[in-house]
Amino acid sequence: MNSSTVDSYDIMGEQVTLPVEIRKATAFTAAFAVPYDKAARLISPTGLSPLALPGLPGLGKRTICMLVLVDYVDGDLGPYNEFGVCFMVRDHRAAAGSSALLDAKAMVTGDACALIHQLPVDGEFTRQAGRGIWGFPKIMAEFDADHDSDTKRAGVRADGQLIAQLSVRKGIAVPDQKSSAELTSYSYLDGVTRFTPWHMQARDTRVRIGGADLILGSHPIAEELKSLGLPRRALMTTSVGDFGMSFGRATEVSG
C-alpha cells in the first residue's frame, strides 16, 4: 500500500486509523555528543545528514545521539514500553548546504528532526503497526522500567542479551507547553527512508546538565552504541511526566 494515501491499516485483524493518538505517556531521555563522522557513516543508508553541534573544545566535530525511554500508558496502539536510539538530523527538504550556525539554530528553535535509528518495544501489536504504517524499525524486547521515582530508570533486553540500563536523575522543572509542538521524525526500514509529522504537548518536564548513568550490554544495539564512544557523560537529561502525541502519515523520501 502507498503510505502517502492510506488512512487506515489492518494490523493483526484490527483497524488503525490515522492520525494515531497517544493520550498519556511518560518518558526520560539522555543526550550524548558523539563523533559526527561515525554517526554519519552509521546512518548513511538513509541519505540523511546529522546536525553538527557548535564547536566543543578538544572534542572535534560532534552530533547528538539521544537515548529515549517511553512508557505509553493510554493510546491507540495500546500500552507498551519503548527504547529509542535517535540522531538529530537535517530536514531533507531544507536548502542544499548547511553550516554549524544553521544546525545550532535548528536545535534551539525546535526545527531539528530526529532519525529513529533503533526502536525496541515490548508489544507485538505496536511492533507490527510501527513497521507497517511508518517504517519504524521496531523489534521485540523486554523492559524493567521505573518511571515514577525521582530517579527514572530502565533496563532493556532482547534475545537474552542486555541492550542498555539507563537511569536519569531529577532535573529542574521548566514551564509546561501552552500548545502542541509540530515535529518531524525519520525512519529507515527495508531500504526505504520515510518522514512522519507528529504533534506533542508536554507537561511536568524537567531538565538538567548531565544526570545520566548508562550501562551497555552485549546485544548488537549495545555494540553499535559502544562504537560511538558510549557510555560517556551525557550532555543533558530530560524527563517528561505526562505528554500526548498525534502521528500522521508517513511519506517516502524520494532519492
pLDDT digits (tens, 9 = 90+) for 7-50: 899 999 999 999 999 999 999 999 999 999 999 999 999 999 99
pLDDT-above-70 percentage for the chain: 89
Q: What is the CATH number of domain 8-250?
A: 2.40.400.10
- How far apart (Å, rounded) are the C-alpha atoms in residues 147 and 169? 11
Any idea where the domains of the chain sit in the sequence?
A: 8-250
Q: Whole-prediction pTM value?
A: 0.92
Q: Say how far apart CA 216 and CA 196 lie, in whole Å.
A: 29
Condensed to tens digits (0 to 9), the pLDDT of residues 76-131 reads 999 999 999 999 999 988 755 556 666 666 665 566 899 999 999 999 999 999 99
CA-CA distance, 48 to 83, in Å (whole number)?
22
C-alpha cell at 21: 493518538
Find all residues with CB under 8 Å of 164, minimum gap 6, and list them: 67, 83, 155, 156, 214, 215, 216, 217, 221, 222, 225
